[in-house]
Chains A and B, each alone.
Chain A
């Protein structure tokens, strides 16, 4: 391990909270998805760091599953963005605050 585990956790927590702030503050659907990506990458950094700390492979394998999950999530959510944009001609989340009912 090249650095103390605490420093790595501080770095990944910082990245995670940057992504969380992006999800909570931005009103553009694309920017919200970008925030989700940042959060998932921060989690991946934690997993690789834990794998390096205990010198076990399992953390890195978890990152591979995380990447597969992310690509599935991104493909569906970008298709949703296309669908929502077709319905309201906008990707501002304030246009989607009503139910059809």
Chain B
């Protein structure tokens, strides 16, 4: 199996999973399909020579951000209830997600048997984490500092917005 063929398979998985995600009525189902789509994108990043970005895609997007979404959905009880699984789970509804996850698992296994060279015999280009770190912290050191400030502001902003209005102080006007 060549990397080119795998690119098209993973692209199809990503598009199908995204399409299913944006049409779901239940936000929890949407998040689960979106995690599938992000895994497919992570494998695409790996194929395109970005192993570190692929790992971060799984850790940050599929891990942290999607768990945050699930947390908020469950905290606010936004998922529609009512459908009880009294007679056991409805397996038909599980078919698309199981198919997508199975295809992704098969692709992950096939990646290990992938030929690391291109058609003309040279090894495929990829950015090693070492090169990546040097470029990030030497050429882009100022941008890293700015991004760290941005994350701090985001944390402060989220904390302020999330507080009950009655507890807010130090702000002009009626609030």
Residues of chain A whose beta carbon lies under 8 Å from any beta carbon of chain B: 1-3, 7-8, 11, 14-15, 18-19, 21-22, 26, 28, 30-31, 33-35, 37-38, 41, 44-45, 48-49, 51-52, 55, 57-58, 60-61, 63-65, 67-76, 78-83, 85-86, 91
Contacts and interface: CB of A to CB of B under 8 A. Distances in A.
Contacts of B135: 57-58, 61
A81 B65 CA distance: 15
Contact of B151 (A8, A15, A60, A72): A72
Contact of A71 (B27, B57, B64, B118): B64
B contacts with A: majority SS: helix
Contacts of A83: 161-162
A74 B123 CA distance: 38
Contact of B162 (A45, A51, A71, A79): A79
B49 interface: yes
Nearest to B34: A34
Contacts of A38: 18, 21-22, 34, 37
B161 A80 contact: yes
Interface string B16-50: 00110110000100110010011001001101111
A61 B138 CA distance: 12
Contact of B136 (A15, A18, A61, A86): A61
A28 B30 CA distance: 12
Contacts of B64: 71
A48 B50 contact: yes
Given A34-B31, A38-B22, A68 B147 contact: yes
